[in-house]
C-alpha cells in the first residue's frame, strides 16, 4: 500500500512480514487526552488469562511475541507503539486485537487518530487506518492482526467503547480491579494455560507474568509532579522482580528563550549522546556508580543489583536508555540516584524533551517529564529512590545541575547529594 492510502473500516490487507511495528498516532494540543496503545492475544475470541493483555502496566507478553515499546513525540505528533514478532505468536492465538484508550477525555477530542502497521525490519508501511468518526468513546479497537490460511492479515476495525480501557479489557475476558461500567460486565477469564518461558533477550527487560492465576490487572498510572513528587513502590505493588528505568528523549523543533542561542549548535548534532547513570549506596555501606563510562554496567543478581542495559546513542530509538533495578534485593539498597549526563552532541539539556518511566514488574508505572531547562546544564538528577520505614520511595528530582569549570558531571551530582565518592577521569 502507498503511505498515503488509508483503509476503509472493515477492509483487510496481507501482512507479509516476520515482525511488525504497530503505531497509534495522533496530534497533541490543549485539551487533547493522552492515548495509550494495547494489544490482546485471543483464542476463540477471548484471552486465555490476564497475561494475554499487553499494555503500559504489562509491557511484554510471556511468549516474547508482543511488546509495548512506548511513546515518542515530535512537535505536536505523538505515537505509542507495539512490536509484534509474528513468527513467535503461539499457534493457538488466532487474533491480536490492537486498541487505544484515552486518558483524561474522549476520542472525539483526539485529532488525527490513526493506526499504522510497518515492517519492523525494513520500515515499509503495510497498512494504515485513519479514524474519523470518534465521539464519546474512551477506548477504541482500531484494528486487528489475524491468521488466514497460515498467513497474517490486518483488518481495520474502528469499534469504540464508552467504558474505557476497563470496559474493552473485560469484554475480551480480562479481570480488572477497578469498578466496571454497567454496559460491560466482567467476563470470567478462561482457564490458565502453560506458556513456554520467554527466550532471554540480549538486554534485560521485564516480561509479563506467566499465564495462570494472578492479581486482577491494574490499569492505573502514577505521574509525579512538582506538587506531588513522591510515591511508595510498595503501595503501587512494586515490591519484587525487575524494575526498568527508561529515559526517552527527542530534540525540540522550536528554540525559545535561553535555548535559542544554543539552537543552531544543538541542531547540528544528530549524534547527541545522553548517558543514563545511577549512584547507589547499599545497606552495608558500599557505594558506587553504574554508567557506560569505564564500562561500569553493574549487575542484576549480585551487588549493586542495578544493570545498565547498554548505551543508546540515538535516543530516538523506541527503547531509549534503560537501567534495571532488581527489587528482589531491595532490602540491600539504601538509596539510588538515577541521573543523566550529556556525553556529547549538545552543550545543555535546553531544546531536549525527555520522559522518565519507572516500570516495576508488578505494579503501576511511575512516570514524569523533565521541565524545560533554563540553565547551561550538562547533568540532570532524575529520581531518588530511598529507603523510608523499610519501603522504597521514588522521588521526582528533575534537577538540572551546572558543573563548575573542570568538575565532571558525576562529581557535580555527588556533591549535590552528598554521596562522598572519589572520582577519576573515564572514557567509553
Of 370 and 259, more confident: 370
Task: Tell me the three state secondary structure of residue 398.
Answer: strand
- 6-17 mean pLDDT: 92
Summarize pLDDT for 356-367 with one digit per residue, the tens: 888 887 777 888
**Residue-level pLDDT at 347:** 66
Summarize pLDDT for 260-277 with one digit per residue, the tens: 333 333 333 444 678 899
**Residue-level pLDDT at 199:** 37
- Residue 386 in grid coordinates: 530511598
Q: Phi first, then psi: what are they for 167, rounded to 5°? A: -65, -40
Q: What percent of the chain has pLDDT over 90?
A: 39
For the chain, how long is the longest CA-to-CA vector? 67
Are 174 and 189 in contact by the 8 Å Cβ rule? The answer is yes
**Residue-level pLDDT at 372:** 72
- Flag whether pLDDT at 350 surpasses 80: no
- 394-398 mean pLDDT: 91
Helix/strand number for the chain, H first, E second: 3, 24
- Flag whether pLDDT at 179 surpasses 50: no
**Residue-level pLDDT at 223:** 80
Summarize pLDDT for 53-73 with one digit per residue, the tens: 998 878 889 899 999 887 888
d(C-alpha 69, C-alpha 422), whole Å: 37
- Flag whether pLDDT at 191 surpasses 60: no
**Residue-level pLDDT at 346:** 58
**Residue-level pLDDT at 262:** 34
**Residue-level pLDDT at 185:** 43
What confidence tier does 251 reach under pLDDT thresholds 50, 70, 90?
A: low
Q: What percent of the chain has pLDDT over 70?
A: 78
d(C-alpha 50, C-alpha 137), whole Å: 23
Q: What is the DSSP string of 190-204?
A: PPP---PPPPPPSS-
Q: Which residues of 277-297 are buried (b: 16+ CB within 10 A; e: fewer)?
A: bbbbbbeeeeebbbbbbeebe
Summarize pLDDT for 103-160 with one digit per residue, the tens: 878 898 999 999 999 999 888 999 999 998 888 888 889 999 999 998 999 999 988 8
- 84-102 mean pLDDT: 95
Q: Which of 109, 117, 127, 96 is nearest to 35 (CA)?
A: 109
- Flag whether pLDDT at 318 surpasses 70: no
- 272-289 mean pLDDT: 90
d(C-alpha 385, C-alpha 388), whole Å: 10
**Averaged pLDDT score across all residues of the chain:** 80
- 198-227 mean pLDDT: 54
Task: Tell me the three state secondary structure of residue 367.
Answer: strand
Q: What is the DSSP string of 249-299?
A: EEE-SS--GGGHHHHHHHHT-TT-EEEEEEEEEETTS-EEEEBTGGGB-EE
What confidence tier does 47 reach under pLDDT thresholds 50, 70, 90?
A: very high
What confidence tier does 427 reach under pLDDT thresholds 50, 70, 90?
A: low
Strand-pair partners of 379: 341, 401
Summarize pLDDT for 320-339 with one digit per residue, the tens: 788 999 999 999 999 999 99
- Flag whether pLDDT at 313 surpasses 60: no
Of 147 and 189, more confident: 147
Are 378 and 408 in contact by the 8 Å Cβ rule? The answer is no
- Flag whether pLDDT at 204 surpasses 60: no
- 198-221 mean pLDDT: 48
Amino acid at each position: 500500500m502507498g503511505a498515503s492510502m488509508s483503509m476503509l473500516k472493515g477492509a483487510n490487507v496481507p501482512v507479509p512480514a516476520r515482525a511488525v511495528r504497530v503505531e497509534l498516532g495522533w496530534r497533541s494540543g490543549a485539551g487533547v487526552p493522552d492515548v495509550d496503545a494495547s494489544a490482546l492475544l485471543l483464542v476463540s475470541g477471548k484471552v486465555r488469562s490476564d497475561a494475554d493483555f499487553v499494555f503500559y502496566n504489562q509491557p511484554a507478553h510471556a511468549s516474547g511475541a508482543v511488546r509495548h515499546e512506548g511513546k515518542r513525540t515530535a512537535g505536536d505528533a505523538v505515537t505509542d507503539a507495539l512490536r509484534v514478532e509474528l513468527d513467535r505468536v503461539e499457534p493457538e492465538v488466532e487474533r491480536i486485537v490492537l486498541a487505544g484508550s484515552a486518558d483524561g477525555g474522549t476520542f472525539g477530542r483526539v485529532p488525527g487518530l490513526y493506526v499504522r502497521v510497518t515492517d519492523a525490519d525494513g520500515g515499509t508501511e503495510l497498512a494504515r487506518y485513519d479514524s474519523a468518526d470518534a465521539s464519546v468513546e474512551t477506548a477504541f479497537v482500531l484494528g486487528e492482526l489475524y491468521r488466514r490460511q497460515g498467513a497474517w492479515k490486518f483488518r481495520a476495525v474502528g469499534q469504540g467503547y464508552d467504558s474505557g480501557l476497563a470496559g474493552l479489557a473485560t469484554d475480551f475476558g480480562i479481570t480488572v480491579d477497578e469498578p466496571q461500567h454497567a454496559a460491560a460486565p466482567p467476563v470470567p477469564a478462561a482457564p490458565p494455560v502453560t506458556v513456554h518461558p520467554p527466550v532471554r533477550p540480549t538486554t534485560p527487560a521485564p516480561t509479563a507474568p506467566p499465564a495462570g492465576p494472578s492479581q486482577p490487572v491494574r490499569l492505573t498510572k502514577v505521574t509525579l509532579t512538582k506538587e506531588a513528587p513522591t510515591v511508595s513502590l510498595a503501595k503501587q505493588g512494586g515490591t519484587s522482580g525487575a524494575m526498568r528505568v527508561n529515559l526517552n528523549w527527542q530534540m525540540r523543533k522550536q528554540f525559545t528563550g535561553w535555548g535559542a542561542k544554543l539552537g543552531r549548535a544543538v541542531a547540528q548534532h544528530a549524534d547527541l549522546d545522553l548517558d543514563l547513570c545511577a549512584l547507589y549506596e547499599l545497606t552495608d555501606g558500599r557505594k558506587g556508580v553504574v554508567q557506560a563510562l569505564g564500562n561500569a554496567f553493574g549487575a542484576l543478581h549480585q551487588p549493586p543489583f542495578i544493570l545498565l542495559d547498554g548505551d543508546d546513542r540515538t535516543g530516538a530509538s523506541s527503547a531509549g536508555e534503560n537501567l534495571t533495578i532488581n527489587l528482589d534485593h531491595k532490602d540491600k539498597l539504601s538509596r539510588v540516584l538515577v541521573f543523566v549526563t550529556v556525553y556529547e552532541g549538545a552543550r545543555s539539556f535546553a531544546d531536549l524533551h525527555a520522559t522518565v518511566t519507572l516500570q516495576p514488574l508488578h505494579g503501576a508505572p511511575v512516570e514524569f517529564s523533565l521541565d524545560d531547562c533554563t540553565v547551561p546544564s550538562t547533568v540532570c538528577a532524575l529520581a531518588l529512590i530511598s529507603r523510608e520505614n523499610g519501603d522504597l520511595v521514588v522521588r521526582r528530582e528533575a534537577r538540572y545541575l551546572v558543573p563548575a569549570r573542570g568538575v565532571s558531571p558525576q562529581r557535580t551530582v555527588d556533591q549535590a547529594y552528598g554521596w562522598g565518592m572519589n572520582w577519576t577521569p573515564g572514557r567509553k
